[in-house]
Structure 1
Amino acid sequence: MNASLPEGKNAQRSALTREKVLKATLDQIYECGILAASTPEIVKRAGISRGAMLHHFPSKEQLIAAAVEKLLEDEVALIEKEAEAYADHEKSIDDFVDFLWERFSGRLFMITMDFLSSARTDEKLREAVIPVSLNFHTSLNQIWIKFFPHKQKSTDQIQLLLNTTMCLMRGMGVQTVIKDDPTYFDGIREYWKTLIHSQLD
């Protein structure tokens, strides 16, 4: 029992270090963008040594992919919780649309938009982040199937409706970069809610 204690402490310390690095990476990307996010600044922000960071993430591409994966895993958990509330009739579809807009008009969207833009011309980064992105979409489709059953709609139709909703949120998120007009975005969101009701009611 005692012999395994140091190993357990080391594992806990290692997990904590990894968590610090990933958080620091996401904060740095959000504030500066991927291209300007340097590993020395990430190390400084995380409060660890460069060697400790390299032990967990030998390359910047692996670091970014792991950070984005962590971000998306957390988002999937949040979306699943909201979808479950909808399925339990604790929240309406309108509430769910508003929740998605909140997520895709803030930190999550800005970070993912930045890494997708960078991955377009960076082959190493693209190879690292594409599997992460595909896993995210697979997880969402599983949520749609589990929490959005509908008697008049097939699984494919439900997935199409909700994935279209996600695409709309992303498109609106892009516009927030150049357009500061909450009324404009509220109007689009309210109009989309009426379309969803026409499909689900």
Structure 2
Amino acid sequence: MMREPKQDRSRATRQRLLEATIECLADSGWAATSVSVVAERAGVSRGATQHHFPTREDLITASLEYMFDSRMTLIDDGDLDAAPEVGRTEAVVTRIVDQYCGTLFKAALQVWTAAAADQELRRRIVPLEERFGRVAHRVAVRQLGVEDDADPVVHRMVQATLDLGRGLGLADVLTDDSRRRAEIVRNWATQLDAVLADARRRRARDVRTG
């Protein structure tokens, strides 16, 4: 039987460590996420772990990058491009909210909390979260079929949708908030749909009279 190439094994080990870090952060919190705990959870020796990530800070920073990429993959899955127009807005809002209610967000929340009291960690995480916010907004605009994000009302509503998702994710940390969350998503999607429809009508009117 052919052995897996060394480079592939190294990449697989690195990914296991990053995934184990995220799971540990979400399940056990910041203080409990040590290099040794992560290594044990990933089934990797401490020496191999330190080969990839010499310090805890290196491991956490790499995990933040991995969380960013994974969160963007979840929010930008692409399937909605083929979704029917009816119910599309609710489908987009649901996807955004679901992204904030999963393991990745819970892990990120642990890091945010730690960063509030750790200036060096805050220096590392703020640029990543600012980048995530910008990309998430662009993705939401595209998925919602927004024609003019320069419209201040539309821009604020899209941003409010992302803020709503974050707030509902926080509400879900301690208790299962799924039933209330589903109703909020439906109601918000109805309001957002009305705003987007009104913006399309204004745009069409401006084109005709322009």
Q: TM-score, normalized by length of structure 2? A: 0.79
Q: Distance in 2 between matches of 1:20 and 1:52?
A: 12
Question: How well do the aligned residues superpose, as a CA RMSD in angstroms?
Answer: 2.6
Asked whether the 8 Å contact 2:100–2:169 carries over to 1, the reply is yes
Identify if the C-alpha distance between structure 1 residues 107 and 11 changes in structure 2 by more than 3 Å, giving closer, same or farther: same
Q: Distance in 2 between matches of 1:130 and 1:153?
A: 24
Asked whether the 8 Å contact 1:94–1:193 carries over to 2, the reply is yes
Asked whether the 8 Å contact 1:145–1:155 carries over to 2, the reply is no
Indicate which of 173, 176, 187 corresponds to 1:177: 173
Q: Which residue of 2 aligns with 1:109?
A: 105
Post-superposition shift, 1:151?
4.0
Post-superposition shift, 1:34?
1.1
Specify the code of the residue in structure 2 equivalent to 1:59. Answer: T
Asked whether the 8 Å contact 2:96–2:162 carries over to 1, the reply is yes
Q: Please state whether the residue corresponding to 1:121 is helix, strand or coil.
A: coil
Identify if the C-alpha distance between structure 1 residues 125 and 9 changes in structure 2 by more than 3 Å, giving closer, same or farther: same
Identify if the C-alpha distance between structure 1 residues 148 and 21 changes in structure 2 by more than 3 Å, giving closer, same or farther: same
Which whole-Å deviations, capped at 9, do the CAs of 1:143-171 have from their partners, x for residues lacking one? 24544443465376554322211111111
Post-superposition shift, 1:107?
1.3
* Ranges in structure 1 where 5+ consecutive residues have no aligned partner: 1-5
Percent of residue pairs identical: 26
Asked whether the 8 Å contact 1:61–1:128 carries over to 2, the reply is no
How many residue pairs end up in the alignment?
193
Q: Distance in 1 between matches of 2:109 and 2:150?
A: 31
1:88-167 matches, within 5 Å, as 88-90=82-84, 92-151=88-147, 153-154=149-150, 158-167=154-163
Q: Distance in 1 between matches of 2:192 and 2:119?
A: 38
Indicate which of 35, 56, 70 corresponds to 1:60: 56
Identify if the C-alpha distance between structure 1 residues 58 and 89 changes in structure 2 by more than 3 Å, giving closer, same or farther: same
Q: Distance in 2 between matches of 1:109 and 1:60?
A: 20
Indicate which of 6, 17, 22 corresponds to 1:10: 6
Q: Which residue of 2 aligns with 1:28?
A: 24
Q: Distance in 1 between matches of 2:10 and 2:135?
A: 27
Post-superposition shift, 1:138?
2.9
Specify the code of the residue in structure 2 equivalent to 1:9. Answer: P
Q: Please state whether the residue corresponding to 2:44 is helix, strand or coil.
A: coil
Post-superposition shift, 1:197?
1.0
Matched, 1:86 2:80: yes
Q: Distance in 2 between matches of 1:116 and 1:133?
A: 10
* Ranges in structure 2 where 5+ consecutive residues have no aligned partner: 198-210
Specify the code of the residue in structure 2 equivalent to 1:85. Answer: D
Q: TM-score, normalized by length of structure 1? A: 0.82
Residue range with higher mean Cα deviation, 112-121 or 154-163: 154-163
